[in-house]
Every structure is written in C-alpha cells, then in structure tokens.
C-alpha cells in the first residue's frame, strides 16, 4: 500500500525532472573536468541524448534506475501499487530506449548508457569506462 493518496503520489511523480538531473549534472561536471566538451539534450538525435560528444560521435544516456527499469538495482523494480500500469509504462520506456539506440547506431553514433546508481556509487570508474570506450574509437579509427 502506498503511503500517499493517489493525488499526492501523482503530484510527486509529476515533479520528477527528465533533464538536468543530479546524476546527469555530476557526470557532466566530471567529464568537463577531464577536458571533454559536449552538448546536452540533442533534439536533433534520436532519443535526445543527455550528453553528446560530437568529436567522438558518441551519445551518452544517463538512465534513472526506476524509469528505465535497471534490473541489477534496488530502485529498478515495479512498485507494488498499481503494478500493471507501472509494468506497462516501464516496458514502453525500455522498448523506446532500444529503438533510439538502434537508430543512433544506424546513424554511425556510439551509444553509452550510464545508470544513476553507478554515478552515485562510483563516478570515477564510470569516467574511466567512458574514456576507455572513447579511446577504442581512436584506436580502431571509427
């Protein structure tokens, strides 16, 4: 059972941001400190990636664990209240993510997914992983 009324829950959920979230800002600051220059929320690309590294033709999505159903995380679960609605909603989000990623790959873009919990727990290793993926492109000439 939910601790809030249906109206209060709706109000709380409607205030959740889709852009400029805390994890996204933390990642952007860390990338900037490492010398990477980027664009944000590219409306011209499928899925409007959170961070775009044009020099590397790389799109980075910062996924919230709940909204994108991170299966390896405590936050990535279907709520007990109104489960059927949330299961359908989260499944649609996952399907849309896959379509956007495939579209970007077809356009020749590299796609990196970073989870909210990874940024909060181990930002430095997330940066190392991103740098290694960007370095692979330099080596292979992509």
Distance CA 87, CA 83 (A): 6
Structural domains in the chain, sorted by start: 19-137 (3.40.960.10)
Return d(Cα 112, Cα 102) in angstroms, integer: 12
**Measured CA angle at 94 (ends 11, 56), to 5 deg:** 110
Which portions of the chain are predicted below pLDDT 70?
1-2, 4, 6, 9-18, 137-142
How far apart are the C-alpha atoms of 37 and 118, rounded to whole Å? 21
Burial class (CB in 10 A: 0-12, 13-18, 19+), 123: middle
Is residue 75 within 8 Å of 65, Cβ to Cβ?
A: yes
Q: Which helix (H) or strand (E) holds 53?
A: strand 51-53
């Amino acid at each position: 059972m939910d601790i809030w009324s249906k109206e209060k829950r709706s109000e709380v959920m409607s205030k959740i941001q889709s852009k400029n979230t805390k994890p996204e800002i933390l990642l952007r600051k860390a990338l900037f400190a490492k010398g990477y220059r980027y664009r944000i929320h590219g409306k011209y690309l499928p899925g409007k990636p959170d961070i775009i590294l044009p020099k590397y033709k790389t799109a980075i999505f910062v996924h919230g664990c709940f909204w994108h159903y991170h299966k390896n995380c405590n936050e990535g679960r279907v709520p007990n209240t109104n489960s059927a609605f949330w299961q359908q909603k989260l499944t649609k989000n996952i399907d849309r993510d896959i379509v956007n990623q495939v579209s970007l790959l077809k356009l020749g873009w590299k796609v990196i997914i970073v989870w909210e919990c990874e940024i909060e727990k181990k930002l430095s290793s997330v940066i190392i992983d991103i740098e290694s993926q960007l370095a692979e492109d330099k080596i292979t000439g992509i």
